[in-house]
Amino acid sequence: MNKTVNQKAWFLILPVLVLVAFSAIIPLMTVVNYSVQDTFGNNVFFPVGLEWFSDVLNSDRLWGSLRRQLIFSAIILAIQIPLGIIIALNMPKKGVWVSVCLVLMSLPLLIPWNVVGTIWQIFGRADIGLLGYTLSELGIDYNYTQDWLDAWITLVVMDVWHWTSLVALLAYAGLQSIPDAYYQAAKIDQASRWKVFRYIELPKMQGVLMIAILLRFMDSFMIYTEPFVVTGGGPGSATNFLSIDLVNMAINQFNLGPAAAYSIMYYLVILLICYVFYTVMTNLEKRDGM
């Protein structure tokens, strides 16, 4: 018996497809157009082929920013993923405190990026900031605007404070999806707390943890507003990440061609890493389904 397939549902998502095409594809094609052209002004362009890509790839500027970006993302993941899991494991499973914890954990996620940067910029100042003033009174020489290590510590702590809640909430959702029968079987077998985590909780959280790693990597790899507000990419170029360097090239220096080539390579790196994460997640799901 032939089953009739109704294709009218496509009309419901057609407005979304049009909106995505207008807000993403058209700007992307504009960037591609700029990346293979040069201009002397007056809106007159002439083709230069792949010259801008070659210039960017052969410059130390890109590789320095990429190195700083990868180090920052690695530090963020190394701290936030274990910390989020620990917080999720210690959150209450039942009762009124569940709602209280969920609300408190969600509060940092509701603060806009520019406000987060402003909060920590003021928080770290030695004259009016609680953190900077306290460290100064303790005799600790802390100045995130002049010392590169202080700047990095400030940005890492700021990002951990802002986004660890996301990892904790995702891990908590994974824990809540585990049936009680697993814990009862572990209790009968007198399994230790570590074995319960290793063989029950961690495997059941693999899917949400991969999503958390993917989301946090993408966000940390594209971070711009917070370090721009707090350090402006300084001191020197210590926190001059890819996004800040790209904006400086495109807006402050008005090098549209190199900036367009830079942004395309930036996009391809993110796309490649996301594809790797997607492949790993798909393989894990297939393995768990066997």
CATH of the domain at 101: 1.10.3720.10
Say whether pLDDT at 216 is over 70. Answer: yes
20 is a domain residue: no
For the ranges 95-99, 105-109, 155-159, 209-213, the maximum mean pLDDT occurs at 155-159
Residue pLDDT, tens place only, 88-145: 999 988 888 888 888 888 899 999 888 999 999 999 988 888 988 899 889 999 999 8
Instruction: Please report the pLDDT score of residue 161 as a whole number.
Output: 94
CA distance 269 to 275: 10
21 is a domain residue: no
Instruction: Please report the pLDDT score of residue 288 as a whole number.
Output: 63
The token duo for 18 is 């049009």
The token duo for 246 is 């790209």
* DSSP codes, 6-72: --TTHHHHHHHHHHHIIIIIHHHHHHHHHHTEEE-STT-EEE-TTHHHHHHHT-HHHHHHHHHHHHH
Residue pLDDT, tens place only, 43-70: 777 888 888 889 888 888 888 998 999 9
29 or 84, greater pLDDT: 84
Say whether pLDDT at 191 is over 70. Answer: yes
Residue pLDDT, tens place only, 180-189: 899 899 989 8
What is the residue range of 248's domain? 55-289
Residue pLDDT, tens place only, 217-227: 989 988 998 99
17 is a domain residue: no
Are 284 and 235 a contacting pair, CB within 8 Å? no
Instruction: Please report the pLDDT score of residue 158 as a whole number.
Output: 94
27 is a domain residue: no
CA distance 229 to 118: 6
User: How many structural domains is the chain composed of?
Assistant: 1
86 or 6, greater pLDDT: 86
29 is a domain residue: no
> What is the Cα 26 distance to its own chain's centre?
25
* DSSP codes, the chain: -PPPP--TTHHHHHHHHHHHIIIIIHHHHHHHHHHTEEE-STT-EEE-TTHHHHHHHT-HHHHHHHHHHHHHHHHHHHHHHHHHHHHHHHS-SSSHHHHHHHHHHHGGGGS-HHHHHHHHHHHT-TTT-HHHHHHHHTT----TTT-HHHHHHHHHHHHHHHHHHHHHHHHHHHHHTS-HHHHHHHHHTT--HHHHIIIIIHHHHHHHHHHHHHHHHHHHHT--HHHHHHTTT-STTTT--HHHHHHIIIIIS--HHHHHHHHHHHHHHHHHHHHHHHHHHHHHHHHHH-
Say whether pLDDT at 210 is over 60. Answer: yes
Average pLDDT of the chain? 87
18 is a domain residue: no
pLDDT grade for 3, boundaries at 50, 70 and 90: low
Are 36 and 48 a contacting pair, CB within 8 Å? yes
| pTM summary value | 0.86
Say whether pLDDT at 290 is over 60. Answer: no
71 is a domain residue: yes
256-290 burial, b at 16+ Cβ within 10 Å, e below that, comes to bbbbbbbbbbbeeeeeebeeebeeebeeeeeeeee
26 is a domain residue: no
